Chains A and B, each alone.
Chain A
Amino acid sequence: MANALKITKNTEESVREFLKILLEKRKVKGVFTLKKIGKNGAVTYSLITKSDELNDAVPFYPLMPTNAGKLLSRITRNGSTTEPVAVIVKPCELRAFIELVKREQGHFENLYIISSTCGGVYPLKTATDGTIEKNLSDYWDAVKKGEINQDLRPACTACTEFTPYGADITVDLIGNTELEKKCFLLLNTKKGEELVQDMKGELVDRDFDKEKLKKFYAKREKAKNQFFNENTKINGLDDLIKIFGRCIGCHGCSKVCPICYCTLCMFDSSNLEYKPSKYESEVRQRGGLKIPPGTIYYHLGRLTHVGISCVGCGSCEDVCPVNIPLTLIFKKVGESMQQIFEYIPGKNITEKIPLVTYNEEEYTEIEG
Chain B
Amino acid sequence: MDGYLITILSNIGMVSFVALSAYILLLSGQISFGQQAYFGIGAYVAGIATVMWQWPLAGALLFGSLAAGAAAGLVGLATLRLSGIYFAMATLAFAEIMRIAAELFVYRRDIGGIESGPDGVDGFRDIRYFFANEFSPLETCLIVYALLATVLAILCIIERTRAGRMLRQIGEDPLLAEVHGINVMSVRMIAALAAGAVAGLGGGLYAHLMTYVEPKSFDIMLGVHALAYGLIGGLGTAFGPILGVLIDIGLLESTRIFHGYRMIVFGGLVAVLLIVRPRGLLDEVAVSRIRRALRRRRDAGD
- Do chains A and B interact in one complex? no
Contacts from B to A (Cβ < 8 Å) = none
